[in-house]
Structure 1
Amino acid sequence: MTTPTALLTIRAWCEDGSEHPLRAEIHLTQDVSSGFQHALTLADSERVVEAVRGFLEDLVSSSG
């Protein structure tokens, strides 16, 4: 039996002229064989960190 492989991608850029220029588009899945399951667009670095942390915590909890 194979273990599903999770994947998270982050595409980040800065919006010129914005007071808060960071933008991050996150795509994630807990099983790459089913494609990306969720997408988020965030404008705050702490929210990006929280999303990554949540993804990793979900991965650990689903592994047993």
Structure 2
Amino acid sequence: MTLGGSTDGTTFTTLKSSAAHTFDPSTRNTVTLTFPAATQRYFRVTITANSGWPAGQVSEFRIWTS
């Protein structure tokens, strides 16, 4: 997955580069992406690969500040 951010919803910059993540039922299929602080209004997740199935689906997406 890749995480992008934008202030206007049109031009996105990469906040977290593409990397492999394991969605494991024993951890409720949850993955945490940590990225440097950014002032963004819009966020976008791009599924860049899937080794378990030739498709991808995100059912919930949340952004928290620390």
TM-score, normalising length from structure 1?
A: 0.26
Higher relative contact order (CA 8 A, sep 6+): 2
Q: Which has the higher strand share?
A: 1
- Scaled by the length of structure 2, the TM-score of the pair is 0.26
The structure that is helix-richer by fraction is: 1
